[in-house]
Protein backbone atom coordinates (compact mmCIF):
# COMPACT_ATOMS: atom_id res chain seq x y z
CA UNK A 1 0.00 0.00 0.00
CA UNK A 2 1.56 3.28 -1.09
CA UNK A 3 1.36 6.44 0.95
CA UNK A 4 -0.09 9.71 -0.19
CA UNK A 5 2.32 12.53 -1.10
CA UNK A 6 2.14 14.63 2.05
CA UNK A 7 3.82 17.57 0.34
CA UNK A 8 0.84 18.19 -1.94
CA UNK A 9 -2.41 19.97 -1.09
CA UNK A 10 -5.48 17.73 -0.73
CA UNK A 11 -9.20 18.38 -0.22
CA UNK A 12 -12.33 16.39 0.36
CA UNK A 13 -14.03 15.60 -2.93
CA UNK A 14 -16.85 18.14 -3.41
CA UNK A 15 -19.42 15.32 -3.34
CA UNK A 16 -18.23 13.94 0.02
CA UNK A 17 -20.13 14.57 3.22
CA UNK A 18 -18.52 14.06 6.64
CA UNK A 19 -20.55 13.05 9.67
CA UNK A 20 -18.54 13.06 12.91
CA UNK A 21 -19.29 10.16 15.23
CA UNK A 22 -18.00 9.20 18.70
CA UNK A 23 -15.68 6.61 17.10
CA UNK A 24 -14.40 8.98 14.38
CA UNK A 25 -16.58 9.75 11.36
CA UNK A 26 -18.57 8.51 8.40
CA UNK A 27 -17.65 9.80 4.95
CA UNK A 28 -20.22 9.38 2.20
CA UNK A 29 -19.51 10.06 -1.47
CA UNK A 30 -22.75 11.02 -3.19
CA UNK A 31 -21.29 10.41 -6.65
CA UNK A 32 -19.93 6.91 -6.11
CA UNK A 33 -22.24 6.00 -3.21
CA UNK A 34 -19.22 4.77 -1.26
CA UNK A 35 -19.17 4.93 2.51
CA UNK A 36 -15.92 5.12 4.47
CA UNK A 37 -15.45 4.85 8.20
CA UNK A 38 -12.78 6.85 10.00
CA UNK A 39 -12.10 4.96 13.20
CA UNK A 40 -9.68 7.54 14.55
CA UNK A 41 -10.68 11.01 15.74
CA UNK A 42 -7.20 12.33 14.99
CA UNK A 43 -7.55 11.16 11.36
CA UNK A 44 -10.84 13.04 11.24
CA UNK A 45 -9.03 16.14 12.49
CA UNK A 46 -6.41 15.73 9.75
CA UNK A 47 -9.10 15.35 7.07
CA UNK A 48 -10.87 18.47 8.35
CA UNK A 49 -7.56 20.41 8.47
CA UNK A 50 -6.83 19.62 4.80
CA UNK A 51 -9.28 22.34 3.76
CA UNK A 52 -7.06 25.17 5.01
CA UNK A 53 -3.62 23.55 5.09
CA UNK A 54 -1.18 24.19 2.24
CA UNK A 55 -0.14 20.51 2.28
CA UNK A 56 -1.26 17.25 3.86
CA UNK A 57 1.92 17.32 5.97
CA UNK A 58 0.94 20.77 7.29
CA UNK A 59 -2.53 19.41 8.15
CA UNK A 60 -0.93 16.57 10.11
CA UNK A 61 1.34 19.00 11.94
CA UNK A 62 -1.54 21.39 12.66
CA UNK A 63 -3.50 18.72 14.54
CA UNK A 64 -0.50 17.38 16.42
CA UNK A 65 0.30 14.14 14.57
CA UNK A 66 3.65 12.91 15.88
CA UNK A 67 6.48 12.45 13.37
CA UNK A 68 6.56 8.73 14.20
CA UNK A 69 2.89 8.42 13.15
CA UNK A 70 3.08 10.46 9.93
CA UNK A 71 3.60 7.45 7.64
CA UNK A 72 0.54 5.72 9.09
CA UNK A 73 -1.59 8.79 8.42
CA UNK A 74 -0.17 9.10 4.90
CA UNK A 75 -1.30 5.52 4.21
CA UNK A 76 -4.77 6.23 5.62
CA UNK A 77 -5.08 9.37 3.50
CA UNK A 78 -3.92 7.40 0.44
CA UNK A 79 -6.73 4.91 1.01
CA UNK A 80 -9.20 7.80 1.08
CA UNK A 81 -7.72 9.23 -2.12
CA UNK A 82 -7.95 5.85 -3.89
CA UNK A 83 -11.63 5.66 -2.99
CA UNK A 84 -12.18 9.21 -4.36
CA UNK A 85 -12.94 10.68 -0.93
CA UNK A 86 -9.91 12.99 -1.26
CA UNK A 87 -8.71 14.80 -4.36
CA UNK A 88 -5.51 16.68 -5.01
CA UNK A 89 -6.04 20.43 -4.79
CA UNK A 90 -5.01 22.06 -8.05
CA UNK A 91 -3.24 25.39 -7.99
CA UNK A 92 -5.01 28.24 -9.79
CA UNK A 93 -3.23 29.18 -13.05
Predicted local distance difference test score (pLDDT) of residue 15: 97
Ordered by start, the domain boundaries in the chain are: 10-86
Determine the Cα angle at 31 with ends 55 and 41, to 5°.
45
- What counts of helices (H) and strands (E) characterise the chain? 3, 5
Question: What is the model's pLDDT at position 32?
Answer: 95
Res 1: pLDDT: 55
pLDDT score of 90: 81
The DSSP secondary structure of 30-64, one letter per residue, reads: TTT--EEEE--HHHHHHHHHTTT-SSHHHHHHHTT
How many CB atoms within 10 Å of residue 43? 20
Mean pLDDT by 10 residues, the chain (93 residues): 85 96 95 95 96 96 96 95 94 59
The CATH class of the 10-86 domain is: alpha beta
Amino acid sequence: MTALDLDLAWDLHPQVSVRPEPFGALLYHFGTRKLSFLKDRELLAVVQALVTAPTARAACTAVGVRDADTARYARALATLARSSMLVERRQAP
